[in-house]
Amino acid sequence: MEPSAPVTQDVLTIPRKLPEGPVNLVGLTREGMRATLIAAGTPEKQARMRVTQIWQWIYQKGVRDFDAMTNLAKAYRAELAERFVIEVPEVVSRHISEDGTRKYLVRIAGGHEVETVYIPEEGRGTLCISSQVGCTLTCSFCHTGTQKLVRNLTAGEIVGQVMIARDDLGEWPEPGRAPKDETRLLSNIVLMGMGEPLYNFEAVRDAMKIAMDGEGISLSRRRITLSTSGVVPEIARTAEEIGCMLAVSFHATTDEVRDRLVPINKKWNIATLLDALRDYPRLSNSERITFEYVMLKGINDSDEDARRLVNLIRGIPAKINLIPFNEWPGAPYERSDEARIRAFADIVYKAGYASPIRTPRGEDIMAACGQLKSATERARKSRAEIAAEVARG
């Protein structure tokens, strides 16, 4: 057969034509916004400047209306308003816990829902954001794992959760009066809500780049922690392309137990995961990795487990975060007793690792770690279905 004629590849990054309907500017990277403005008729020479101006209005001042962008010409503002929108997901409900934790039920395009949780603490405030509706993984102790993946969130929907929280906290500073990190209500982000962030890499990366951009939300990369169940091939890329802090859902000290708790372990086992983690601090220039360890009664909480844990991670700069299991209706595990958790923490501490026991927050509103689950009825999966899937591997 004759080889077909060579195809000339179109290498232009600038879209020639915008899609039908208004385009949302939230979630575009700076480069993406520049290309989009040019495609809509902004002269190329001006585009970079316009991006900076619009960017500051959106991410520094919290403005959603082009008409308020007073350093842009009136006619240009009208043009922008015709083609673009500045949209964040809709907050369907907000629950406030006795301890001040706020849980937002957030509706994204298509009517699906995710949860975002704000946790105020002494001198800081952490926003726990979701990266997917549901999760493809089926960790047996996690409520989100009982829900099928519905879809990945877009970068705009991910950074939009930060903007929603800032709206609610009233934290859009007056021009020139950006609060310092120490005094911010929303000072830290953890990607520990619904979903596996490393299975939605590009959107998470772009959203976090926006959150870190010094001319906007301006959070330091050290104040952003991405939690993964152990998607090994994406770990080095996380260091190189995002450079944030890393937390890993470790939860067990033998492959046999980890296979049951975190089934992704069957694909990338403990030894493979530890190899990837060993390189992370150097690649990302961060000090240490957080090992998350959920305390499940009689499953992974013995003294022997604690000793095995410290032996496994020897040589990796680490902090071990012990999470008392948060129960949810129908959960197949129980939380370890307090004395057991303390004994475990003591062994870890004596081996030279910080071993804070995480205080469950917002339990009364089902906002604690691992309790999140959207109400999307048709996405529900029964425990029996999950057990069958785990058994099939």
| Residues with catalytic roles | 115, 369
Which residue, among 360, 192, 368, has the nearest Cα to 290 in the 3D structure?
Answer: 192
Q: How far is the CB of 388 from ligand SF4 (least distance, A)?
A: 16
Mapping DSSP to helix (H, G, I), strand (E, B) and coil, where does residue 230 land?
A: coil
Q: Does 113 contact ligand SAH by CB under 6 A?
A: no
Least Cα distance to 190 among 214, 166, 211, 168 occurs for: 211
CB of 370 to ligand SAH, least distance (A): 2
Site track for ligand SAH across 157-196, x = CB under 6 A: -----------------------------------x---x
Identify the H or E element spanning 227: strand 224-228
For position 228 contacting ligand SAH by CB under 6 A, the verdict is: yes
DSSP state for residue 335 in the 8-state scheme:
B
CA angle 129, 228, 238 (to 5 degrees): 90
Sign for the CA dihedral angle at 54, 55, 59, 60 comes to negative
The answer to whether 145 contacts ligand SF4 (rule: CB under 6 A) is yes
How many residues contact ligand SF4, by CB under 6 A? 11
SS3 204: helix
Task: Using the minimum distance from each CB to ligand SF4, give the nearer residue, 223 or 373.
Answer: 373
Q: Which is nearer to ligand SF4, 25 or 242 (CB)?
A: 242
Residue 261, interface with ligand SF4 (CB under 6 A)? no
296 forms beta bridges with: 335
Angle CA 236–242–244, to nearest 5:
90
Ramachandran region of residue 9, left (φ > 0), alpha (ψ -120 to 50) or beta? Answer: beta
Closest distance of CB 2 from ligand SF4, Å: 49
Q: Which residues between 321 and 380 bind ligand SAH (CB under 6 A)?
A: 323, 325-326, 369-370
Give the residues lining the site for ligand SF4 (CB under 6 A).
Answer: 135, 137-139, 142, 144-145, 195-196, 229, 249
Give the residues lining the site for ligand SAH (CB under 6 A).
Answer: 139, 141-142, 192, 196, 227-229, 249, 292, 294, 323, 325-326, 369-370
